[in-house]
Homo-oligomer: A and B are copies of this chain.
Amino acid sequence: MQEKAFQDYYPDHLSHCYGCGRLNEHGYHIKSYWNGDESVALFTPQPYHIALPGYVYGGLIASLIDCHATGTASAASYRKAGRDMGTEPALRFVTASLHVDYLRPTPLGVQLTLRGKVKEISERKVIVIVTVSAQGTVCAQGEVVAVKMPAHMMP
Contacts and interface: CB of A to CB of B under 8 A. Distances in A.
Interface of A: 13-14, 16-19, 21, 24-27, 46, 48-55, 57-60, 62-64, 66-67, 94-102, 105, 149, 153-155
B48 A58 contact: no
B102 A100 contact: no
A5 B49 CA distance: 22
In this complex, the member of A26, A46, A52 whose beta carbon has the largest number of chain B beta carbons within 10 angstroms is: A52
A59 B63 contact: yes
20 contacts: A14-B52, A17-B52, A18-B51, A18-B57, A18-B59, A24-B50, A26-B46, A52-B94, A55-B153, A57-B63, A58-B63, A58-B66, A58-B95, A59-B63, A59-B66, A62-B66, A97-B99, A97-B100, A97-B101, A99-B99
